[in-house]
Amino acid sequence: MKERVVRVRGDGQLLDTLLTHFPHIGRNKVKAWLTRGQVKVDQQTVQRYDQPVRAGQQIQVEMGKAGGELSIHAKQRLSIVYEDDEVVVVDKPAGLLSVATEDKTELTAYRLVTEHVRKMDTKHRIFVVHRLDRDTSGIMLFAKRYETQQWLQDNWNDVVKERRYVAVVEGRVQKQEGVIDTWLKESSTRTMYVSSPGDGLRAITHFRVLKRSSEYSLVECQLDTGRKNQIRVHMKSIGHCVVGDKRYGATRDEIGRLALHAASLAFLHPTKPEKVLRFESEIPAAFRKLFS
User: What distance in Å separates the CA atoms of residue 81 and residue 25, rounded to the nearest whole number?
Assistant: 34
Cβ neighbors of 60 (< 8 A, separation 6 or more) are 3, 4, 5, 39, 40, 43
Residue 105 near residue 67 (C-beta atoms within 8 A) = yes
User: What distance in Å separates the CA atoms of residue 203 and residue 169, rounded to the nearest whole number?
Assistant: 19
Which is the catalytic residue, given 91, 133, 245, 253? 133
Phi/psi at 226 (5° precision): -120, 65
Q: Does residue 133 have an active-site annotation?
A: yes
- Cβ neighbours, 10 Å, residue 259: 31
Residue 96 near residue 35 (C-beta atoms within 8 A) = yes
**Residues forming the active site:** 133
